[in-house]
Amino acid sequence: MAIHPVIMCGGAGTRLWPVSNQACPKQFHRLVSDKSVFQETVLRFAGQPGFHPEPVIISNAAYADLIAEQLAAIGVTASAILLEPEGRNTAAVAAVAARYLAGAHPGGLGLLVPSDHFIGRPDTFLDALRAAAPAAQSGFITTFGIAPSRPDTGFGYIQAGSVIEGPVARVAAFKEKPDAATAAAYLASGAYSWNAGIFLFRPETMLTELAAHAPAILENSSAALAGARVDGACHYLEPAAFAATPSNSVDYAVMEHTAHAAVYAPLDCAWSDIGTWAMVAEVSHRRNAPPVIEIDTADCVVHAADGQLVALVGVDDLIVVADGNRILVTRKSRSQDVGAVVKALKERGLKDFL
């Protein structure tokens, strides 16, 4: 009853410009350590008792080479690399992953996990996954609720209901990103946790629930996998079927409808979605980072490409990111607005700098 990590690495955001972009998004960069965030995610499970040694990778076909290179560099072999011709959100990912695992690894559990998160206490994280396995085995799709450390309005929340066993409870409700007052009330109540977008399940459970609540997603995704062109570990999903797959999140398509939603909470594993440069700075521990010269500065964060040097004179509270020909300077408190740079670049036709 091994847990099969299914590592989702197809997305690309804009708030970590200039390092993260469509061509090489966040997860493939050495943001936090001397390995990429994707490599750190893969290695988190490698050789750990209870986890299958060969993860499943699911991503966009554009990243096939990046994935192969980065897996080779850490000596990990994938069970399969499932490659989408285009993004169809996480419900399609769950469908393809469940279908693949049900065929290739019957009897295992699937663990859908984002590739672009930081986890400061991996042992706590792995213990939680193992502790949630019996509930998943018994037919629950188990999510993981991060213990909130602040009234954050940037995450969805999970409200825990009646206890199933230990820290695993039925889900009482999924909550959209709240306003500040609601987030404060959630934090005070203790019954709400951050939805980390991690799911542990029997593949058969996921397939049954998709069939019940999102049949078009299941049918088209399944057809795309069945018709995939296979090249070594790579499965290139059949484009026409995948294009016909409705785009929806697993939360909306399945979790809000199923009677079998569970949550492990609170999970206190020093988790961060490292969604902004300020968050990256909080957890980064790169060694051999490029040099920085600071003259009379305070509370600044610098992230530079190899071979680039940043000098700061008489400034404070700044984030400076240098990535070759693209340089970002922002106040720490404004790093969530970096996506506006990408928007402006597109509007001005400055595609070379995206």
**Residues making contact with a copy of itself (CB under 8 A):** 17-18, 291, 293, 295-296, 304, 307-315, 318, 320, 322, 325-331, 333-335, 337-338, 340-341, 344-345, 348, 350, 353
- Strand 157-165, strand 168-175: pairing: antiparallel
68 DSSP 8-state letter: H
Do residues 41 and 76 make contact, with C-beta atoms less than 8 angstroms apart? Answer: no
Taking the least distance from each CB to a copy of itself, the nearer of 93 and 301 is 301
As measured in angstroms, the least distance from the Cβ of 180 to a copy of itself is: 20
Q: How far is the CB of 290 from a copy of itself (least distance, A)?
A: 9
Residue number, 259 or 329, with CB nearest to a copy of itself: 329
Judged by beta carbon, residue 18 or residue 197, the one nearer a copy of itself is 18
* Bridging pattern class, strands 3-8 and 56-60: parallel
Q: How many residues does the chain have?
A: 354
Beta bridge partners of 163: 169
Whether 56 and 97 have beta carbons less than 8 Å apart is answered as yes
Task: Pick the closer one to a copy of itself by CB: 230 or 295.
Answer: 295
Report yes or no: 232 and 80 within 8 Å, Cβ to Cβ: no
State in angstroms the smallest separation of the CB of 304 from a copy of itself: 8
Distance CA 294, CA 303 (A): 13
Rank residues 25 and 203 by Cβ distance to a copy of itself and give the closer one.
25
Give least dist CB 297 to a copy of itself, A. Answer: 9
> How far is 268 from 271, CA to CA, in rounded Å?
7
Choose between 121 and 332: whose C-beta lies nearer to a copy of itself: 332
Give the up-direction half-sphere exposure of residue 344: CA atoms within 13 A in the CB hemisphere.
8
Other beta carbons within 10 angstroms of residue 168's beta carbon come to: 25
Query: What is the rounded distance in angstroms from the CA atom of residue 192 to the CA atom of residue 302?
Result: 35
Residue 329: name the closest of 344, 343, 348, 316 by CA: 316
Minimum gap (Å) between residue 320 Cβ and a copy of itself: 6
Rank residues 259 and 293 by Cβ distance to a copy of itself and give the closer one.
293
With respect to a copy of itself, which residue has the nearer C-beta, 168 or 328?
328
User: 304: which strand partners?
Assistant: 322
Q: How far is the CB of 23 from a copy of itself (least distance, A)?
A: 16
User: Least Å distance between CB 296 and a copy of itself?
Assistant: 7
State the amino acid at position 339 in one-letter form: G
Residue 120 CA to residue 271 CA, distance in Å, equals: 6
Minimum CB–partner distance for residue 25 and a copy of itself (Å): 18
